[in-house]
């Protein structure tokens, strides 16, 4: 559908002047404002649906007007004055015979004083309240009118808008678009009948111009069938675009990495544990995918500590068994290094060379590793972003594993894939993406519809749950005592420094100060420090001595947030926990509770707490399940922030609300598959209508 832009030698684009203007009759300044609202072509005006409605269909006699509600009233101006106390304001009184009302304007123009002259009739819309001098409206909308003029026949739509673009002009432009644009049906009638949804044209017309007898509560609450139709259409467009994309990638060829087994079985035999049921299930899915002649595009989700790494290693082995290389990419040096050690531990005894590429290694070493990678001696390559530098050339890349995938940008993942494609003469490598930030099911179904998703939904046995304590900063001394006791008893602890978003420099300083201070506080303990600004080698040295038990207390910034695995560490103190987000807290807490010892996570907080911080701390205190935490995080923050980097390129939903429209999401997903298979023309028309040829989906 959007194949044009992908052709390597596209013809030069025609000058814009020759093209049909996207917004005919609308000037540049207005067009810029519309663009801010996401309106780029005329049809987008049709899809610009009201935020809410004002009810100007009924005139309320002033004698019957009740406070609290929005009302339309009218009357004759009987008094209009500029008052100076308590501050300068325009105060106007109107009467309709049944009662009186005060209109109060704290900011006003001279022209308003004229239009509100005594004797004029005005029609007023606003919220009535009871002030010191009886019923009043502050800053109501009003218009001078003939008292006999008819009232509106429909609810008045109020549109989302932006500074400098008034409701009236928006309404006019939308009305024109509704008159000129084709509003015909794109979806098969049988589909609509099955879901009990109205036709497109009647739904948009009703939403823009609701008739007086419309079910108002349903309309305002967005559960009216017309709303449901638009939400369904939106969800369907999203599903379609992502499935089109999925199919396109699937149409590419990939190396067939058949299930052979020798190496996989050998590692399974050597592991000191047995895979959990959940690990076995996802492994089976992955192994099956790898054997296909088209690229796997799978997201492996699992809570912190659920054991994704070993699944990745087993997948890498299946790749190696077939004579291809596997790449493992992690977003931080610490995590990549840790993966390297694990992979080397597991795979080298099986006779496999694991190469290590990061920004921090010596040039001479790197040179040799690059030769090993390009020559194929290294069958598995672990590294950071360094993996997609130009200098890295694979011999035959068959599988790219990307840990903590949400930390990578779209382009970075794409770069790795292209490297693979170059090394296999056009075959695309299989992709396994991993994430320990669980995403609620609805969000995964919606925003990850272009991927296959596997979930490890249980933790390995024998884990003792982490006890979480909320402790106010005032009781810091008790916490210090507790850290001392734990370390003296042979356990290890993390001390996580506060997040300081405004300044990285300040953050670093805080880490240094905290380290110095704790060293003083605990002269009998070996206190280490790790932060993001350290040289890679320094970081590695500190992590290694913490792992070896030489460092007892590790002061750290949030660099340890992802993936770090030191099972003997069983106590974590997080300073200023109120500044951190839920998933970050969950990730940090996941660093403890990895061994058999009972673990504790102390969240130090500074009172007073903002309502959001209070809510977050309550969730992290009460919940240990990452999926439940993610679900509550979604409620607190909305999908945009939860999805992070992925958000760019994925059309965000404007109308559908994943918290309430789950049934529509299910239906849209099924319908997308059906249409793409059975009625591709309908799918195409629907996409064109909703996305207007914009290639709004992810390009990975
Ligand atoms: P994550 O899913 O957060 O990446 P890891 O892969 O780091 O988790 O695994 C956490 C720890 O659990 C590691 O020490 C790993 O070796 C161990 N582990 C993984 N699978 C099992 C299992 N089936 N039984 C016992 N321990 C396991
Ligand atoms: Mg991990």
- C-alpha of 672 from chain center: 22
Three-class DSSP category at 326: strand
Q: Which atom of ligand 1 is nearest to the CA of 342?
A: 16
Q: Which atom of ligand 1 is nearest to the CA of 309?
A: 6
Structure confidence at residue 409 (pLDDT)? 67
User: Which residue has the CA at smallest separation from atom 10 of ligand 1?
Assistant: 305
397-430 burial, b at 16+ Cβ within 10 Å, e below that, comes to bbbbbbbbbbbbeeebbebbbebbbebbeebbbb
Q: Ligand 2 centre and the CA of 697: distance in Å?
A: 27
Encode 52-64 in three state secondary structure. Answer: EEECCCCCCCHHH
Q: How far apart are CA 224 and CA 218, in angstroms?
A: 5
In terms of average pLDDT, the best of 228-232, 382-386, 390-394, 625-629 is 228-232
Query: Is 48 a residue whose pLDDT tops 50?
Result: yes
Average pLDDT of span 364-382? 93
Compute CA distances 134 → 128, 340, 544, whole Å. Answer: 10, 75, 75
The model's pLDDT over 616-633, given as tens digits with 9 standing for 90+, comes to 999 999 998 888 888 888
Q: How far apart are CA 495 and CA 390, in angstroms?
A: 38
* pTM of this structure: 0.75
Q: How far apart are CA 187 and CA 155, in angstroms?
A: 28
Encode 14-45 in three state secondary structure. Answer: CCHHHCCCCCCCCCHHHHHHHHHCCCCCHHHH
Dihedral sign, Cα of residue 6, residue 10, residue 12, residue 15:
negative
Average pLDDT of span 3-13? 39
User: Which residue has the CA at smallest separation from atom 20 of ligand 1?
Assistant: 307
Structure confidence at residue 462 (pLDDT)? 78
Query: Is 698 a residue whose pLDDT tops 50?
Result: no
69-80 burial, b at 16+ Cβ within 10 Å, e below that, comes to eebbbbbebeeb
Query: Is 19 a residue whose pLDDT tops 50?
Result: no
Alpha-carbon torsion, ordered 298, 676, 652, 184, to 10 deg: 180
Closest C-alpha to 489, from 589, 568, 602: 568
Q: How far apart are CA 276 and CA 73, in angstroms?
A: 69
Of the bound ligands, which one is closest to the alpha carbon of residue 404? Answer: 2
Q: Ligand 1 centre and the CA of 24: distance in Å?
A: 59
Q: Ligand 1 centre and the CA of 30: distance in Å?
A: 56
Helix (H) or strand (E) holding 279: helix 277-290
Q: How many residues does the chain have?
A: 700
Q: How far apart are CA 40 and CA 48, in angstroms?
A: 11
Q: Ligand 2 centre and the CA of 302: distance in Å?
A: 9
Average pLDDT of span 112-136? 91
H helix runs in 61-181, sequence order:
110-115, 167-180
Structure confidence at residue 230 (pLDDT)? 96
Q: Which atom of ligand 1 is nearest to the CA of 403?
A: 4
The model's pLDDT over 406-422, given as tens digits with 9 standing for 90+, comes to 777 667 777 778 887 87
- Read out DSSP for 332-380? SHHHHHHHHHHHHHHHGGGT--EEEE-TTS-HHHHHHHHHHHHHT--SE
Going by the DSSP 8-state scheme, the letter that residue 114 receives in this structure is H
Query: Is 206 a residue whose pLDDT tops 90?
Result: yes
674-695 burial, b at 16+ Cβ within 10 Å, e below that, comes to ebbeebeebbbbbbebbbeeeb
Residues in CB range of 275: below 8 A, 6 or more apart: 268, 283, 307, 310, 311
Closest C-alpha to 113, from 123, 103, 128: 103
Q: Which atom of ligand 1 is nearest to the CA of 312?
A: 6
Q: Within 10 Å of residue 358's Cβ, how many Cβ atoms? A: 21
CB neighbour class for 164 (10 Å; exposed up to 12, middle 13-18, buried from 19)? exposed
Helix (H) or strand (E) holding 687: helix 680-691
pLDDT band at 332 (very low <50, low <70, confident <90, very high): confident
Q: Ligand 1 centre and the CA of 648: distance in Å?
A: 31
Q: How far apart are CA 9 and CA 3, in angstroms?
A: 12
Q: Which atom of ligand 1 is nearest to the CA of 308?
A: 2
Q: How far apart are CA 667 and CA 168, in angstroms?
A: 36
pLDDT band at 424 (very low <50, low <70, confident <90, very high): confident
Structure confidence at residue 17 (pLDDT)? 43
CB neighbour class for 190 (10 Å; exposed up to 12, middle 13-18, buried from 19)? exposed
Q: Take residue 404 and report the two structure tokens written for it.
A: 């903590």
Place of tokens 């694979």: 394
Residues in CB range of 640: below 8 A, 6 or more apart: 647, 652
User: Which residue has the CA at smallest separation from atom 5 of ligand 1?
Assistant: 307
Strand partners of residue 141: 125
The model's pLDDT over 520-575, given as tens digits with 9 standing for 90+, comes to 999 999 999 998 888 878 888 898 999 999 999 999 987 776 667 888 899 999 99
Q: List, as own/partner pairs, every contact residues 205-208 make where C-beta atoms lie below 8 angstroms and the sequence separation is at least 24, other chains included.
A: 205/178, 207/49, 207/50, 207/157, 208/49, 208/50, 208/157, 208/174, 208/175, 208/178
Assess contact for 535 and 360: CB atoms under 8 A: yes
The model's pLDDT over 297-330, given as tens digits with 9 standing for 90+, comes to 999 998 888 899 999 999 999 999 999 999 999 9
Place of tokens 């660099």: 559
- pLDDT exceeding 70 applies to what percent of the chain? 93
Structure confidence at residue 606 (pLDDT)? 92
Mean pLDDT (the chain, rounded):
87
Q: Take residue 536 and report the two structure tokens written for it.
A: 């890679």
Average pLDDT of span 198-216? 92
Pocket test for ligand 1, best of 268, 307, 461 (most atoms within 8 A of CB): 307
Query: Is 695 a residue whose pLDDT tops 60?
Result: no
Q: Take residue 505 and report the two structure tokens written for it.
A: 């420099």
Q: Ligand 1 centre and the CA of 408: distance in Å?
A: 23
User: Which residue has the CA at smallest separation from atom 13 of ligand 1?
Assistant: 307
* Strand 141-144, strand 121-127: pairing: antiparallel
Residues lining ligand 1, Cβ inside 6 A: 273, 275-276, 279, 302, 304-310, 436, 460, 563, 565, 594
Structure confidence at residue 18 (pLDDT)? 41
Could you list the beta-strand ranges (E) of 428-526.
430-435, 452-456, 467-472, 492-496
């Amino acid at each position: 559908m959007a194949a044009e832009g992908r052709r390597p030698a596209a013809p030069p684009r025609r000058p814009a002047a020759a093209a049909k203007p996207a917004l005919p009759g609308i000037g540049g300044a207005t067009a810029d404002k519309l663009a801010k609202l996401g309106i780029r072509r005329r049809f987008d005006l049709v899809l610009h649906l009201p935020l809410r409605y004002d009810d100007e269909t009924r005139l309320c006699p002033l004698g019957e007007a009740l406070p609290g509600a929005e009302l339309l009233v009218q009357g004759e101006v009987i008094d209009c004055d500029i008052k100076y106390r308590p501050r300068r304001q325009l105060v106007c009184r109107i009467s309709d015979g049944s009662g009186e009302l005060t209109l109060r304007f704290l900011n006003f123009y001279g022209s308003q004083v004229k239009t509100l002259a005594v004797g004029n009739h005005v029609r007023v819309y606003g919220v009535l309240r009871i002030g010191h001098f009886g019923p009043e409206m502050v800053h109501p909308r009003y218009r001078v009118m003939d008292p006999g003029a008819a009232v509106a026949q429909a609810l008045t739509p109020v549109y989302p808008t932006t500074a400098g673009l008034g409701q009236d002009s928006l309404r006019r432009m939308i009305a024109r678009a509704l008159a000129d644009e084709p509003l015909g049906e794109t979806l098969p009638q049988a589909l609509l009948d099955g879901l009990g949804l109205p036709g497109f044209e009647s739904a948009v017309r009703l939403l823009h111009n609701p008739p007086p007898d419309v079910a108002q509560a349903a309309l305002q609450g967005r559960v009216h069938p017309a709303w449901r139709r638009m939400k369904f259409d939106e969800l369907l467009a999203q599903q379609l675009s992502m499935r089109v994309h999925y199919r396109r990638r699937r149409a590419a060829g990939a190396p067939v990495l058949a299930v052979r087994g020798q190496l996989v079985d050998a590692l399974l035999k050597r592991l000191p544990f047995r895979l959990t049921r959940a690990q076995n299930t996802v492994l089976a899915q992955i192994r099956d995918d790898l054997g296909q002649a088209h690229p796997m595009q799978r997201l492996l989700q699992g809570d912190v500590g659920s054991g994704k790494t070993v699944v990745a290693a087993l997948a890498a082995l299946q790749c190696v068994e077939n004579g291809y290389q596997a790449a493992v990419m992690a977003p931080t040096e610490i995590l990549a290094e840790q993966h390297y050690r694990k992979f080397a531990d597991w795979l080298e005894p099986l006779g496999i060379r694991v190469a290590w590429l990061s920004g921090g290694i010596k040039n001479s070493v790197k040179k040799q590793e690059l030769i090993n990678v390009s020559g194929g001696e290294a069958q598995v390559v672990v590294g950071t972003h360094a993996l997609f530098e130009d200098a890295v050339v694979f011999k035959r890349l068959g599988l790219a594993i990307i840990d903590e995938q949400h930390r990578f940008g779209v382009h970075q993942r794409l770069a790795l894939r292209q490297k693979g494609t170059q090394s296999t003469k056009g075959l695309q490598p299989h992709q396994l993406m991993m994430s320990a930030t669980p995403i609620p099911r609805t969000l995964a179904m919606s925003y990850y519809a272009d991927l296959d998703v596997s979930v490890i939904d249980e933790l390995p046995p024998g884990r003792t749950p982490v006890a979480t304590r909320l402790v106010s900063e005032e009781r810091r001394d008790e916490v210090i005592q507790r850290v001392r006791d734990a370390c003296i008893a042979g356990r290890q602890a993390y001390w996580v420094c506060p997040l300081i978003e405004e300044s990285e420099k300040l953050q670093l300083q805080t880490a240094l100060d905290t380290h110095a201070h704790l060293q003083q506080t605990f002269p009998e303990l070996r206190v280490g420090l790790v932060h993001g600004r350290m040289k890679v080698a320094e970081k590695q040295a500190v992590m290694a001595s913490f792992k070896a038990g030489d460092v007892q207390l590790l002061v750290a910034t949030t660099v340890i947030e992802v993936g770090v695995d030191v099972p003997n560490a069983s106590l974590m103190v997080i300073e200023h926990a109120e500044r951190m987000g839920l998933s970050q807290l969950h990730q940090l807490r996941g660093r403890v509770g990895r061994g058999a010892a009972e673990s504790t996570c102390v969240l130090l907080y500074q009172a007073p707490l903002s309502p959001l911080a209070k809510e977050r701390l309550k969730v992290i205190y009460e919940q240990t399940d990452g999926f439940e935490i993610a679900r509550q995080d979604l409620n607190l923050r909305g999908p945009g922030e939860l999805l992070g980097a992925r958000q760019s390129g994925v059309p965000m939903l404007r109308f559908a609300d994943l918290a309430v429209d789950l049934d529509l999401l299910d239906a849209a997903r099924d319908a997308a598959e059906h249409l793409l298979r059975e009625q591709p023309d309908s799918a195409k028309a629907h996409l064109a209508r909703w996305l207007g040829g914009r290639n709004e989906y992810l390009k990975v």
